[in-house]
Chain A
Amino acid sequence: MMSYSAILPQLFDTLKPFTKPGFQLKEQTELVAELGLDSLQVMQVLLKIEDHFDISIPLNNLPNIRTVKDLGEEIEKLLKG
């Protein structure tokens, strides 16, 4: 079972292509407000995450995911099943 601390670096790697050069991703980085992801980019990020971790993120959880940490914890939860 993958722990949150193991998920986090992989999550940073997944998000990297969506950041500007030199941007330092942190756990508290806000996905929409700071990374400036638009709704289609959000879908692309989710797609990559779903494929990478082989999970399916329920739609109803999206409104509660604000930061990188929220997303990482969601992945951890889903991996636990």
Chain B
Amino acid sequence: MNATPTHHQLRLKYGNFSTLSEALDYAASGETGCNFYSGRGKLTHVLTYADLKQQAQNLARRLNGLGLSRGARVALIADTTPDFIRFFFACQYAGLIPVPLPISLHLGGHQAYVTQLNRLLESCQASIAMAPEGFLPFLEEAATGLDMVLIGGPETFASLEENQDPLNPLEPQELAYIQYTSGSTRWPRGVEVTQSAVMTNLSGIIQHGLKVQSGDRCVSWLPFYHDMGLVGFVLGPIASQLSVDYLSTRDFAMRPRQWLNLMTKSRATISFSPSFGYELCVRRLGEDFNEHYDLSSWRIAGAGAETIRADSLSRFAKTLKASGFKSEAFLACYGMAECSLAISFAPLNKGLEVDRVDGDQLSNNRLAMPFIPLLTDEEQARCSKFVNCGVPLPGYEVEIRNIMTGDVVKERESGIIFVRGASTMTGYFNDPILTQEVLSPDGWLNTGDIGYWVEGSLVIIGRSKDMIIINGRNIWPQDLEFMAEQQAEVRPGDSSAFSVSTPDGHEIAIIVVQCREMDNKKREDLVQRLRSLVHKELSIPCYIELIPPRTLPRTSSGKLSRSRAKADFLTRIQWEEVTTNLSTTAGSA
């Protein structure tokens, strides 16, 4: 078996197609395609775009035999397999809407997973659902009591009768897929993405964000049910006729070095990861490693999907410099499923640009005043660092509006980011109320994110709905979480900060920390240390609660959910304990 080639004869088209099926039709006339690797680095499946087109059309005829109404939802458990991509495109050709659903990586998480799938199936009102063989029992259990036409594995669908009517693919104004995203796992939000929206975004990404060129090749271990995994690394390569090499998310999590092996082997040029992926690699590589990687072809190492942690990325660059990795390859980007995927990209070949601002000015006056150069220790301590996420893609209007007044802000004044453009969603599926909350009648999407402008570039600070306001002062939950995660007992992703209103109407800051330590004395020590650090840095009292590992709630895309953490906290809170605790702090500080 040979992987599909990087270099090929087909003329490069930059995603200027009106639908996803049209993009595949064009890619199918070349030799490129997708390649699947095992966790031990073995090539297990090759799916050329030519075969994908033929197989997806064949499957589309079988789906058409089911007599579903146009636009009916097809739920697909999105494991990293050729079948997922076949079914996704079969839907495109058959006029059906694919809905990628997550897979579960949790030990002992059977019931939670089934419950999650059940909510998603119900939310999208799926008519049919497909799971790879091993996941079928979960899907069947999740569908109990739901009115569905057919649930099965790939073979079940392959044995359906073909309908010989001509195929009638989804058209530009119709939906391309529904993407479940941020928002809690309890109340799922299905983003409706039309063909024209996703094609607009893809051509923007290909032409302006990545400036795809002949000789590019992609590698990805991002899950297919995540916007960056799906749009960025399944649809993107097809829309730009590039070959792509896949490693499953689970195999990456278990053997992160396989990512680097695959990059070395395939001489890939484009690969993306949230900050944590780069961190995981560094952690597993250790200080001195013997493997010989060649990462010199890697021209775009994208970072996004969560707050970009510049320090983690520079550690990765430093560790792998000898393997030919260039820190200029880092590309910060900003986006969300509600905009298909991308909103802005930093310039290529520049690496990360970190904006250092006065944290006090930011929280007191919402002004991001630069600290250049840093003079005193006191300034160092007040310094907040944010990554510049670049200029919005052409076709987007972006406004940053004052949190209180709604007025458009000036340069370096922080506010909520609003976007309008051809690649924003039409709404959340079947949820007019939620849609109305974020999408205005004239098309402005409230991203919920806080940021500011620096010379036409967007700098992202965090999520507004998560902001903690204590006595009129803005506290960024990230800051509190960062302090918690600086403690030796706490790891990245182990804490969640938010504020709650006390019965007498005061806002207080809470940090919930996942803690493995069982010794009571050591636990108390951690709480005291963290509490005094918060007091020292921000001069606010803070209640710290330690909870068992793996109990912080996450969204369906795996991000920590502060709003859910807060909701959970409120169900178990003992006000008496909290207030006693806070007054002790105030006394001792």
Chain A contact residues, CB within 8 Å of chain B: 20, 30-33, 36-40, 42-44, 46-47, 50, 56, 58-66
Contacts and interface: CB of A to CB of B under 8 A. Distances in A.
A37 B516 CA distance: 9
A66 B516 contact: no
Contact of A60 (B135, B516, B548, B550): B135
Nearest to B77: A60
Contact of B105 (A47, A56, A59): A59
B280 interface: yes
Interface in B260-312: 280
A59 B491 contact: no
Contact of B254 (A38, A46, A66): A46
B39 interface: yes
Contacts of A20: 518
Interface string B99-142: 00001111111100100000000000000000010110010000
A56 B109 contact: no
Contacts of A46: 254
Chain B CB count within 10 A is highest, among A31, A33, A44, for A33
B550 A39 contact: yes
B561 to A, nearest CB: 15
A29 to B, nearest CB: 12
A65 B248 CA distance: 20
A64 to B, nearest CB: 6
Contacts of B514: 38
24 contacts: A31-B107, A32-B108, A32-B549, A33-B548, A36-B549, A37-B550, A38-B494, A38-B549, A39-B106, A39-B550, A40-B253, A43-B253, A43-B254, A44-B254, A47-B254, A56-B39, A60-B103, A62-B106, A63-B104, A63-B106, A63-B109, A64-B108, A64-B110, A66-B107
Nearest to A23: B518
Contacts of B549: 32, 36-38
Contacts of A60: 103, 132, 134-135, 138
A58 B134 contact: yes
A65 B108 CA distance: 5
B107 A65 contact: yes
Closest 5 CB pairs of A and B: A60-B134, A66-B108, A63-B110, A43-B254, A36-B549
Given A32-B106, A36-B550, A59-B79, 10 more contacts: A38-B494, A38-B514, A39-B550, A42-B106, A47-B254, A56-B38, A60-B134, A60-B138, A61-B134, A63-B108
A32 B134 contact: no
Chain A CB count within 10 A is highest, among B107, B109, B255, B550, for B107
Interface residues of B, number: 30
B550 A38 contact: yes
A40 to B, nearest CB: 7
B104 A39 contact: no
Contacts of B254: 43-44, 46-47, 50
A38 B105 contact: no
Nearest to A64: B110
Contacts of A40: 253, 280
B491 A37 contact: no
Nearest to B109: A63
Nearest to A62: B107
A18 B103 CA distance: 26
Contacts of B113: 63
Contacts of A38: 491, 494, 514, 516, 549-550
B523 interface: no
A64 B39 CA distance: 21
Contacts of A47: 254-255
Contacts of B382: none
B502 to A, nearest CB: 31
B564 interface: no
A47 B252 CA distance: 11
B144 to A, nearest CB: 16
Contacts of A37: 107, 549-550
B250 interface: yes
B138 A62 contact: no
Interface string B545-559: 000111000000000
A59 B491 CA distance: 25
A38 B110 CA distance: 17
A58 B548 CA distance: 27
Interface string B184-215: 00000000000000000000000000000000
Contacts of A65: 107-108
A44 to B, nearest CB: 8
Chain B CB count within 10 A is highest, among A40, A46, A58, for A40
A44 B250 CA distance: 11
Nearest to B255: A47
Contacts of B550: 32, 36-39
Contacts of B110: 63-64
Contacts of A63: 104, 106-110, 113, 138
A1 B542 CA distance: 57
A64 B514 CA distance: 24
Contacts of A39: 105-106, 253, 550
Contact of B108 (A30, A50, A58, A59): A30
Interface string B480-503: 000000000001001000000000
Interface string B503-538: 000000000001010100000000000000000000
Nearest to B80: A59
